[in-house]
Structure 1
Amino acid sequence: MSINSAMLAGVSGLVANSSALAAISDNIANVNTVAYKRNQVNFANVVTAQAVKGKYAAGGVQSVTRQFVSQQGLIQASGSTTDLAISGDGFFVVAGKGLGLTPADARSFTRSGSFGVDSDGFLVNDANLYLQGWPIQADGSFAVNPSDLNAMRSINVKNLGAAVAPTTELGVSANVNKGTTVSSGLAGYNAATNSMALYSSSNGATGTKPDFVIEMNVVDSAGGSRKVAMAMLKDTAANTWRAEIYAVPATDIVPNGTDPAGQLATGNVVFNADGTINMTATSNALKSLNLGASTAATGARWAPGLGLAAQSLDIDLTKLSQYASTSTVNSISTDGAGVGNVIAIEVDESGIVSAIYDNSQIRKIAKIGIATFPNANALRAVSGNAYRPTIPAGEMVVKEPGVGGAGAISPSSLEASTVDLSAEFTGLIATQKAYSASSKIITTADQMLEELINIKR
């Protein structure tokens, strides 16, 4: 009966517009939710077979929910270095826990990058979802796997320990006075038996007094500060200086063979006529030092009681000069750093998470992966503004940020919600009117049925 079908069509209109109202309500409620993707309810008519020619039976309407997961939200600057946004396609891989993560634990995907550090040191967002990444390997690389989520781990930025950077390079900028008078001590100088290292270590009782000494600080493998000195004695040969490098105090090292206490290297420093250093004629032994570990049996090495690892030092003497001016040290540069503790966390655009230490060292921790899907709009939404894979969404691939179509990471940024309030309020008004109109269909059909029943009276 057409009146009955009209009433049922009105009911379907109420149901469909109720779904539309629910979607609009969700959108409005999440207008400030980070990286929220708006939903929309579309309508499709339902056509029923017409059994009798000349009569029409209403089919009504059905609601179809559409997700706009792939829609890009506005990237906004944030004050936190652990806030992350994805500019482009893809999702962060997250898990429900940080410790004890197993292959059986479900992974989700989200664009909500409001991450912070929890009490255990893990990066976790506002929905308590833990950010996953590829941990750094011993050789400094990352074992990137595009399909195995088990290769990723919850990123921890606290349990890292202190950072130490032993000195490997020293740079010396200094001038030695060209007008220095050749010392009377030169006649008795012998690097093996009457060295400048002996003079330094015994406070002048033995050895040869140098004309000029350059002291340099060195960070050892344990983060301790050691000192080495380069002593120089003017030679009778033009533009030539005898030089020795030794440890201060001498007890920090065991010298090579029968070398004097503390001595590490000997040789000549030769200058050109214009006062610049002649690196070719200058002894190579003064440019590179090799200190063996405390446990080494031969060669110059750290003292056994120090328990230090082997260390190589390259000394840059290119800024050493000889001018007719007072001998002076202009600057000493070094790449070493003592013991440092984590003071900040940063993430770069390639997804590398690094810890910054108070000794200016930077240590890489992990690399964030970006998961992509052929049809992201078909993902299944779950609580926490996250999604789970579905068959219509297609095969998931985890890529490095900015590679192979994956979006780049925007550090210290957040993606805004894609909800447009003006559009939602307009839709709210239209949905309200459509709901009222559907209710009028039911009222009118009821009145017609009542008239039909009254015919018998």
Structure 2
Amino acid sequence: MSINSALLAGVSGLTANSAALAAISQNIANVNTVGYKRTAGEFQTVINSQSQGAGYSAGGVLSTARHYTSQNGQLQRTTSSTDLGIAGQGFFVVTEKAENLEVTDSRLFTRAGAFRVDNLGYLKNTAGLYLQGWPVDAEGNITTDPSDLNRLRTINVGSVGGTAEATTRIQLNANIRSSQTVSAEATAAAATPPGADAYDPLTNSMAMWDPETGAGVKPDFELTIPVSDSKGGQRTIAISFLKSTTPNQWYSEIRAVPAGDVVSGAGLANGQIKTGLVAFTQDGRLDVDAMAALGAQALFADPSVASLTFGSSDSAAPGAGQVNWAAGLGIDDQTLSFDLTAATGGLTQYDSASVVQAVLTNGTAFGNLSEVKIDETGFVTAIFDNGVTRRIAQIAIATFPSPDALLQSSGNAYRVSQGSGTYNLKTAGSGGAGTIGSSQLEASTVDLSAEFTGLITTQRAYSASSKIITTADEMLAELISIKR
């Protein structure tokens, strides 16, 4: 009977508009939810099969929810460096637990990037989901895999301890006065045979100089260099110069301060690390050719590749001309490279005051973790208060062929469905994954004006469907009254 079909069509209208109202209510309730994607109720007609000559049978309407998961919200600035937003397509990979993940544990995907560091140091968002990424291996490398979720690990910033870096490079910018008077000890050293109190790097050296007792030879000029060892401890080495009777030539010694910091091999004493001659050209620059001609007598036979090597504290006794760090220090071996021939400075001999313009080293003392930074490519970097930076992990971004078909899950997250297609893990900024914005959060895609407009039209449609039912009821009542 066509009246019955009209009655059922009205019921379907009530049901469909109720579902649409539920979607609108969900949107309005989540207008301030980070990374929320709006849902809309969409209607489609239902047509019944018609029998010839039997009249028309109304089918009604059916409502289905459409999820606009691929629609991106605006990124808004925050004050927390662990707040993350994605500018483009892609989702953060998250899990419901931080540790002991098994293959059977679910992996979820979300755009809600309000992450905080929990009591164990893991990055967790407001829904309690843990951020996943590729960790740094023992050699400081990150190996990414586009298809294996099991290679991901929960990113932990709390396990990063303090760090230090040993000095490996020293750049000197210093001048030695060319008109320096030749000392009596240097003059005696040039005599044949050497005179009394003649300078000798082993028996009467600058390393032996004691201003209180007058022992040893007072340097014409000396500079000190701070050096960080493998544990971040501060060591000091000194470079002393004594003008020779040969023009443009200086005796030089490099020693540790205090002398007990090193163990020296044969030919070295009193903390000496290296001894030899330094030669300059007539225009005041280091004379590379002259030092090469001096050979073993030169402080460095090739100043362009000058370096010092220290054996570790637990090394065997040093050979002739070699040094180790003292056993009591318990530190690793170390090589210091000197930049003595820089075009803008270096070690020079001009007729001006002997002075140190700059001593630049790259080592650092021990430092504690001060903050965590995340760049647009997803690298999580620990920054220490001594200036050292260390990469911890790289955030993984998942993309899908059809993100609108992902299944919704609690906590503003999504699960893979047959319609969405399989995930593809990418690094931020590659393959359409979008870049990561630190100290930014993605706003909800809900437009209140559009939702309130939909609320009005849905209410009117619901009222109209109820009118169908009342009208059909009146017609049925009229039909029943015929019998009376």
Structure 2-normalised TM-score? 0.91
| Rounded Cα–Cα distance in structure 2 between residues aligned with 1:135 and 1:103 | 18
Letter in 2 for 1:199: W
Measured at CA, do residues 455 and 176 of structure 1 come closer, stay the same or move farther in structure 2, by a change above 3 Å? Answer: same
Aligned residue for 2:394, secondary structure, equals strand
Match of 2:192 in 1: none
Match of 1:166 in 2: 166
| Rounded Cα–Cα distance in structure 1 between residues aligned with 2:423 and 2:111 | 15
Match of 2:407 in 1: 380
Aligned: 1:44 with 2:63: no
Alignment of 1:14-413 (within 5 A): 14-53=14-53, 55-186=55-186, 187=189, 188-199=198-209, 205-279=214-288, 281-282=290-291, 283-284=299-300, 287-297=306-316, 298=318, 299-318=322-341, 319-413=346-440
- CA drift of 1:280 comes to 5.1
| Rounded Cα–Cα distance in structure 2 between residues aligned with 1:266 and 1:204 | 23
> Relative to structure 2, which stretch is displaced further, 280-289 or 443-452?
280-289
| Rounded Cα–Cα distance in structure 1 between residues aligned with 2:279 and 2:7 | 106
> Relative to structure 2, which stretch is displaced further, 380-389 or 331-340?
331-340
> Relative to structure 2, which stretch is displaced further, 178-187 or 97-106?
97-106
Aligned residue for 1:369, secondary structure, equals strand
CA contact (8 A) 1:114 1:125 kept: yes
| Rounded Cα–Cα distance in structure 2 between residues aligned with 1:136 and 1:408 | 20
> Relative to structure 2, which stretch is displaced further, 324-333 or 38-47?
324-333
Measured at CA, do residues 278 and 36 of structure 1 come closer, stay the same or move farther in structure 2, by a change above 3 Å? Answer: farther
| Rounded Cα–Cα distance in structure 2 between residues aligned with 1:390 and 1:279 | 71
| Rounded Cα–Cα distance in structure 1 between residues aligned with 2:63 and 2:326 | 81
| Rounded Cα–Cα distance in structure 1 between residues aligned with 2:300 and 2:94 | 54
Q: CA RMSD in A?
A: 1.6
> Relative to structure 2, which stretch is displaced further, 183-192 or 418-427?
183-192
- CA drift of 1:172 comes to 1.5
Give per-residue Cα distances to partners, 1:88-114, cap 9 Å, x unaligned. Answer: 111111011213333332110001111
| Rounded Cα–Cα distance in structure 1 between residues aligned with 2:178 and 2:339 | 21
Give per-residue Cα distances to partners, 1:24-69, cap 9 Å, x unaligned. Answer: 1111111111111111110000000112426111000001111111
Match of 1:421 in 2: 448
- CA drift of 1:127 comes to 0.7
| Rounded Cα–Cα distance in structure 2 between residues aligned with 1:268 and 1:76 | 64
| Rounded Cα–Cα distance in structure 2 between residues aligned with 1:453 and 1:146 | 70
| Rounded Cα–Cα distance in structure 1 between residues aligned with 2:57 and 2:323 | 101
Aligned residue for 1:273, secondary structure, equals coil
Measured at CA, do residues 204 and 354 of structure 1 come closer, stay the same or move farther in structure 2, by a change above 3 Å? Answer: farther
- CA drift of 1:281 comes to 4.2
Give per-residue Cα distances to partners, 1:106-163, cap 9 Å, x unaligned. Answer: 1100011111111111111111111011110112111211111111111110111111
| Rounded Cα–Cα distance in structure 2 between residues aligned with 1:406 and 1:204 | 73
Measured at CA, do residues 280 and 139 of structure 1 come closer, stay the same or move farther in structure 2, by a change above 3 Å? Answer: farther
| Rounded Cα–Cα distance in structure 2 between residues aligned with 1:347 and 1:203 | 56
| Rounded Cα–Cα distance in structure 2 between residues aligned with 1:361 and 1:395 | 40
Aligned residue for 2:132, secondary structure, equals strand
CA contact (8 A) 1:185 1:209 kept: no
- CA drift of 1:272 comes to 2.7
Structure 1-normalised TM-score? 0.96
Aligned residue for 2:338, secondary structure, equals strand
CA contact (8 A) 2:268 2:274 kept: no
Measured at CA, do residues 151 and 331 of structure 1 come closer, stay the same or move farther in structure 2, by a change above 3 Å? Answer: same
- CA drift of 1:365 comes to 0.5
Letter in 1 for 2:244: D
Measured at CA, do residues 184 and 23 of structure 1 come closer, stay the same or move farther in structure 2, by a change above 3 Å? Answer: same
| Rounded Cα–Cα distance in structure 2 between residues aligned with 1:330 and 1:48 | 94
Measured at CA, do residues 280 and 117 of structure 1 come closer, stay the same or move farther in structure 2, by a change above 3 Å? Answer: farther
| Rounded Cα–Cα distance in structure 1 between residues aligned with 2:110 and 2:65 | 20
CA contact (8 A) 1:239 1:270 kept: yes
Give per-residue Cα distances to partners, 1:215-266, cap 9 Å, x unaligned. Answer: 0111111111110000011122222222111100000000123411211112
Aligned residue for 2:119, secondary structure, equals coil
Identity of aligned residues (%): 52
- Structure 2 residue runs without a partner (length 5+): 190-197, 292-298
Measured at CA, do residues 81 and 203 of structure 1 come closer, stay the same or move farther in structure 2, by a change above 3 Å? Answer: farther
CA contact (8 A) 1:254 1:300 kept: yes
> Relative to structure 2, which stretch is displaced further, 76-85 or 149-158?
76-85
| Rounded Cα–Cα distance in structure 1 between residues aligned with 2:387 and 2:227 | 16
| Rounded Cα–Cα distance in structure 1 between residues aligned with 2:209 and 2:128 | 65
Letter in 1 for 2:308: L
- CA drift of 1:210 comes to 1.0
Letter in 2 for 1:249: P
In the alignment of these two chains, the number of paired residues is 456
CA contact (8 A) 1:254 1:261 kept: no
